[in-house]
Amino acid sequence: MIVLHVRTGQAAGHLDEHARSVWFGKLDARAKILGIFAFVIAAALLTDPVLVMCALACALVTALLSRLPPRHLAKAYLAALPFLAFASFSVFLFAGFERGISMLARTSACVIALLVLATGTDTFELFSGLRRLRVPGILTTLLMLTHRYLLLLSEELDRMRTARRARGFSGGRSLLDVQAFRVLSNTAGMLLVRSSGRADRIFEALKMRGFSKDMRPWRETRIAALDAAFMLALVAIAASLLLLQMEVFP
């Protein structure tokens, strides 16, 4: 999930600004987390192919309604697609075409819902939301730090790639290119060294500002009617999908 956030965040720089300007971005993070997770859990439990399709449709509708940039969501989804396709393909091999398709639909529904949550929620809101849902402070802090370090790694990698290019390196496309391999493994080594030095400094900078272990949200927000409505709607969808699956309704 964090990796997802970092990757989507890297892909479109202005994204968090955007996330905050659409209605979905303004919802209370706790409501979003609870609602989306209820939906994801329900979707993961579905087996009836028709209901799975319904769940996928719901996820798509949520994505549309969220007003998040569709191109961006599509890009992030495509990045995840190979993994989904691989999983579905193995199901397809062992259990037949229909099961394979329904697996793809199910995982897609979950991923799309999570993508909407990840791209439509400000980074810090996401973590402080988790914190306020009583996730232990040490855990959210770890998540937050992990997030920062991942950002850092990808920034560092970017810079080194540029530096390499600037000096005329263009290999790395063929696995047989030994020279390219050497350069790349050097890069990996340098990346570790450079990031560990940097990681030390970041930690020093944190200590300089009195950081010990907990992170609190700055502005205490309340769950408003809209937040509650959004959460309840998603929970209701999740519940009815599950109830339909259990054939409570004839």
Partner 1 sequence: MRVLETTKLSFAYDDGTTALRDLTMTLDDGEKVAILGPNGAGKSTLLHLLSGFRMPFDGTVAVCGRKLEQQSADDIRRDLGLLFQDPDDQLFMPTVEEDVAFGPRTLKLDDIEGRVLRGLRSTGIEHLAKRRPHRLSHGMKKRAAIAGILAMDPRVLLLDEPTSGLDPKSRSELVRLLKSMDRTMLIATHDLEAAAEIVDRAIVLNVGVVKEGTIRDIVTDSKVMEEVGLELPAISRLFKELDSMGYPVEALPVSMDQAVAELTKVIDRVGRQARSRGVTKTAGQKKKT
User: Which two three-digit tokens encode residue 73?
Assistant: 């969501």
Report, in Å, the least distance between residue 116 CB and partner 1.
19
The first and second tokens of residue 102, run together, are 């329904």
At its nearest, how many Å lie between partner 1 and the CB of residue 145? 9
Per-residue interface string for the shown chain with partner 1, residues 122-141, x marking contact by CB under 8 A? xxx-----------------
- Residues in region 77-116 near partner 1 by CB under 8 A: none
- Compute the least distance from the CB of residue 168 to partner 1, in Å: 25
Pick between residue 182 and residue 207 the one whose CB is nearest to partner 1. Answer: 207
Q: Does 151 bind partner 1 (CB under 8 A)?
A: yes
13 touching partner 1, by CB under 8 A: yes
At its nearest, how many Å lie between partner 1 and the CB of residue 202? 5
Residues 183-242 that bind partner 1 (CB under 8 A): 198, 201-202, 204-212, 216, 218
Residues at the site binding partner 1, with contacts judged by CB under 8 A: 13, 16-17, 20, 122-124, 148, 151, 155, 198, 201-202, 204-212, 216, 218
